Chains A and B, each alone.
Chain A
Amino acid sequence: MALLRLVLPLLLLAALWEGAVALLQISPFYLPPLRQVLGAIWALGPAYAQAFMVTLGEAVAGFVVGGLVGVVSATAFHHQRWLRDMLFPLFVASQTVPVIAFGAIVVLWFGNTLLAKAAIAFYLTFFPVTVNALAGFEAVDPRQVALLRSFGASRRDIWWKLLLPSALPRIFTALRLSAGLALAGAIVGEWFGASIGVGAMLLAALFNEQVVAMWAAILTAAAVGGAIFGVVALVEARLVFWRDEL
């Protein structure tokens, strides 16, 4: 049933794609038939699989570190007002640097490495998580905190048993948003001289005017994004099962 719910929209989209191209006689320059795009992926399966894995790895690395840094920063900001007053404006300012400019700097720092792409994915990920985790911590009922304190709970206990679980719904909202951002970050990172990855493929197809290869790269990117999003949603369903019932 869940599988059907997942597959059905995809099939519908595929049918719409094929149908529109055939019926409206769309020039393949604008939108090639889906089967041609899938054929291109099939023909170079290992290459697309490798690109998928490489970009997934970069995005996930940045995403995981970004998520952790976000939660840790939010924890620090929640407990230390002065730290928040001092650092939060810097966090905000950091986000005003266009990602392309940031990418250029990161490539100068880290060269053509996984770290460079992960750094950009991280850059786009940590901020939404920080903001949402902080909002989650702040929204905790102070009476809950008082109750735990009356039990003699340490700060650490309160964080693990109350603050973190309470903030999880908001953290996951940010993580779902960040899944797409991390992918975008990894792809942008690959636009600065990477040899492999979905972004590198996208760029090569773009500049060689290979429309089919471009759509194949786009589909692969969507698969990477879908994979990250799917895992986040699965973990969320397991950890925040109680959310809908609030």
Chain B
Amino acid sequence: MMQRRTLLATGAALLAAPRIGTAQALTKATLRLKWLPQTQFAGFYLALERGYYREAGLDLTINPGGPNLLTENLVASGGEQFGVSGGTDSVFSAREKGLPIVCVGVTHQVTPFVFAAKADGAVKTLEDMRGRKATAWFTGAHLVLYGMLASRGIAKEAVNISPQQVSVTPFVNGEVDVVAATWYNELNVLKARLGGVDKLKLFVAEDYGITVPRDTVIANEAFATANPGAVQAFLRASIRGWKAAAATPVAGVEAVMKIAPTIDRAHQEAMLPECLRLMKAGAAAQQGLFAIDPVAVKKAHDFFVAQKVLAAPIDLAAAYQGKYLEAIPLAERMA
């Protein structure tokens, strides 16, 4: 029984990725994540655990990210083939610097973070932020805040914005009025520590006409050009993993907990559905997981050009390559 299943699976893999070869000749590759192991990456870990990459012809290793690493640099160096990088913003800046990476998919279709103030605090509207203290990650989130303020004609100098550290404790303690929070991580922490979402006033970028899709899937450019089948196989297996994690979140959480057994399970359980929501939002609703929405990308790009973060427009068609994804039947990509 087992043997037959394996045979079938191998057959399926052969059909699916004929150019990569058989189970005997797996393509070795690594995936560098953007952060430490957590259910933000559950689909990748589950795909690995269930052997989806292997079945697709890849011998994949998943390497966690961390505070001292830039996924773009590691993938650009060729030491790693795939990466979950910061977001569309970091792809822009990497391409601007000439780093040989391409974006082959987008995980979070909408801006994955919001800005939060306390519901009973002084900040009820964006206008109220004037003269107040706000923190944001200076890896890109601060630009989104600048953009939101600009959309209401507020100069960024009017708000006291400083770099946000890892902890949200200063906000909880009232030392800071506005804090950046990802839907899947900090917001859960805030809800838990303040006692519910109704204790918070949220400012969502999309409400101010800004969308920055993040958690972009990138590949080393030379590797992708030489091994299009491997890129396709990677995306196909990752989609399978994420669909499995969506179907059985418990398995998704478990796959991560096996890698990092000391992290808090309840927190991870709360994180996964939020990540899935961000993944299925926007263009993904019609075009499936990892869809690269050219409109959203262009919008984000123009926003960063307007913010003068990018000195000049970059070649988006070269940087964002949907062809690997489009080679996979749409039905397979739909979550």
Contacts and interface: CB of A to CB of B under 8 A. Distances in A.
Do any beta carbons of A and B sit within 8 angstroms of each other in the complex?
A: yes
The binding surface of chain A is classed by DSSP as helix
**A: contact size bracket:** 20 to 34
B151 interface: no
Interface residues of B, number: 31
Interface in A8-40: 40
Which one of B66, B67, B267 has the highest number of Cβ atoms from chain A below 10 Å of its Cβ? B66
Contact of A193 (B64, B189, B262): B64
A171 interface: no
A135 interface: no
Nearest to B261: A47
B37 A204 contact: yes
B68 A204 contact: no
B37 A103 contact: no
Interface in B241-278: 259-264, 267
Contact of B80 (A44, A111, A205): A111
A40 B189 CA distance: 21
A196 B262 CA distance: 11
A48 B262 CA distance: 9
A40 B261 CA distance: 11
B66 A203 contact: yes
A111 B69 contact: no
Contacts of A217: 262
A109 B78 CA distance: 10
The binding surface of chain B is classed by DSSP as loop
B66 A201 contact: no
A50 B160 CA distance: 46
Interface stretch (A68-76, A159-167, A206-214): A206-214
A186 to B, nearest CB: 15
B54 interface: no
Given A107-B69, A112-B63, A208 B264 contact: yes
Contact of A108 (B67, B74, B262): B74
B65 A44 contact: no
A108 B73 contact: yes
Interface string A108-124: 11011000000000000
A111 B68 CA distance: 13
Contacts of A206: 166
B12 interface: no
Given A108-B77, A203-B67, A195 B37 contact: yes
A153 interface: no
B79 A111 contact: yes
A201 B66 CA distance: 12
A191 B69 CA distance: 9
A192 B63 CA distance: 9
Contact of A204 (B33, B61, B262): B262
B37 A191 contact: no
A234 interface: no
28 contacts: A40-B262, A47-B262, A104-B68, A104-B69, A109-B79, A111-B30, A112-B61, A191-B66, A191-B67, A191-B68, A192-B66, A192-B68, A193-B32, A193-B69, A195-B62, A195-B63, A200-B36, A200-B64, A201-B260, A203-B36, A204-B263, A206-B166, A207-B166, A209-B189, A210-B262, A210-B263, A213-B263, A217-B262
Interface of A: 40, 44, 47-48, 100, 103-104, 107-109, 111-112, 191-196, 200-201, 203-210, 213, 216-217
Given A103-B68, A193-B63, A209-B166, 10 more contacts: A108-B74, A193-B33, A193-B69, A193-B74, A203-B36, A204-B36, A206-B166, A207-B166, A209-B189, A217-B262
